[in-house]
A and B are shown apart, each in its own frame.
Chain A
């Protein structure tokens, strides 16, 4: 099955997967010669049924998984197997799925750990920068992170990732466990980041909401790119529901 034709690129790809094969064990590959890209300053939404390889794309890009073949490129340079610590230094940050805070530490200390790779003297100004964006976190700064609500925790996770001023933000299922209002807040925040120049690569099951905020949607199916469309046009696409129910995209015309 061939992927649908891509729209004409508005900006150059900052991230590219070229026939990448990767998985959690050598015998079980999740990405099967996956080829896709994400453009600078856009929100690229990765969607697809369970097991399609969405989270695996993020983990492979962030160096948690190493491709067995193919090439992952960031700004044109191959980053296969480059460890997370080095990718953070190059400008990629990752907010994984689920709860990622250190519950017994304070909100302030959780934030500080987001800048673990930064020189110590830069930390205070970076933390102020993040707190200016998230006033609610400032109010809870000395509380234990585990006492925060789900929405506050997600804000803190995103804020912690932003501490390094990443040029690319990878975020996996940010809406999980959040109320519809908080989902809107998180999506609005991601939109604002993208508008300010940060590239966002997002995996999200709450597709209809996410499509409203994304620039572009990539639909994965069985570890391959099945559709590549502007997000706005995909909302009414009949293929969308079928893909989520495990069906197949129609071959490209």
Chain B
């Protein structure tokens, strides 16, 4: 039983990171109708941004803050104005293709401009473990859970308890009605892009110490975040959390009790099951738009 709980706890921690990245997927889809297939690279780029800052002598916390500002400008503002805005009027497909292009360009840029080798990344948490009810928990897992949980809860509180958050939900649900009420739709969508960029920075901070910084690290996190968003419900922020945690826990359980070889296939199997039996996702609502 202790073994199982151990797997669940560390699975929830890993899943929480997927959830943070998946939240970006759901927010972007809800508010702007954008499916960002460069989401994984949006996590990879801040990882290298932080490494560059650390390379010039900044402590990790300062490197993180500087990278957040840069990500908000480049992955938030510039991405919206330069890529999403001109293409969004042409439908979902051109934008999907453009984000795939961004993904390839970002990987090539980092591989040729920085390094093709995996880079060590400092953990924001101290090493070591502690014991709770017979379960051994690392400070890294506990810290990841606390930060990811705080991010998700803060985002939920922002969306549900502030006028701006509710205006963002209004834009997501009915853009034309929101505009008729005087809500600045473009500004609300920009907020979503900036929040997505910041979520990517947090995901980078949490996951890069585990996976190491590499130009193709975004492929894994991007794919799993996408699956997590679909599994939980692409139009529900709570769904992203559930999907991420489900994948994280199931990966650990399957990897331990069946074989580590099957671990990477867990997200795909869950994704296929959801698509077959509940295509709107576990917590999702049916809607006319389809991913």
Contacts and interface: CB of A to CB of B under 8 A. Distances in A.
B175 to A, nearest CB: 11
Contacts of A94: 180
Contacts of A120: 163
A116 B174 contact: no
Given A96-B177, A100-B177, A102-B174, A85 B163 contact: no
A23 interface: no
B166 interface: yes
B181 A114 contact: yes
Contacts of A84: 179-180, 182
Interface string B171-205: 00110111111111000000000000000000000
Interface size class of B (residues with CB under 8 A): 10 to 19
Interface string A82-104: 00110011000011100011111
B196 to A, nearest CB: 20
10 contacts: A64-B179, A85-B182, A102-B166, A104-B169, A105-B173, A113-B163, A113-B178, A114-B181, A116-B167, A120-B163
A85 B174 CA distance: 16
Interface string A170-209: 0000000000000000000000000000000000000000
Contacts of A116: 163, 167, 181-183
Given A102-B170, A105-B170, 18 more contacts: A84-B179, A84-B182, A88-B182, A89-B182, A94-B180, A95-B180, A96-B180, A100-B174, A100-B176, A101-B174, A101-B177, A102-B178, A103-B173, A105-B166, A113-B166, A113-B183, A116-B182, A117-B182
- Report whether over half of chain B's contact residues are helix, strand or loop; otherwise say mixed: helix
Nearest to B184: A85
B180 A112 contact: no
B177 A102 contact: yes
B60 to A, nearest CB: 38
| Among all A-B residue pairs, the 6 with the closest Cβ atoms | A117-B182, A100-B177, A85-B182, A88-B182, A102-B173, A102-B170
Interface of B: 163, 166-167, 169-170, 173-174, 176-184, 285
Q: Which of B166, B167, B173, B180 has the most CB of A within 10 A?
A: B180
Contacts of A114: 181
A155 to B, nearest CB: 16
Interface in A103-153: 103-105, 109, 112-114, 116-117, 120
Interface in A48-87: 62, 64, 84-85
A74 to B, nearest CB: 16
Contacts of B174: 100-102
Contacts of A95: 180
A85 B183 CA distance: 7
A199 B213 CA distance: 63
A113 B174 CA distance: 13
A160 interface: yes
A112 B178 CA distance: 12
Nearest to A94: B180
Contact of A112 (B166, B177, B182): B166
B111 to A, nearest CB: 43
Contacts of B181: 88, 113-114, 116-117, 160
Contacts of A100: 174, 176-177, 180
A101 to B, nearest CB: 7
Nearest to A145: B173
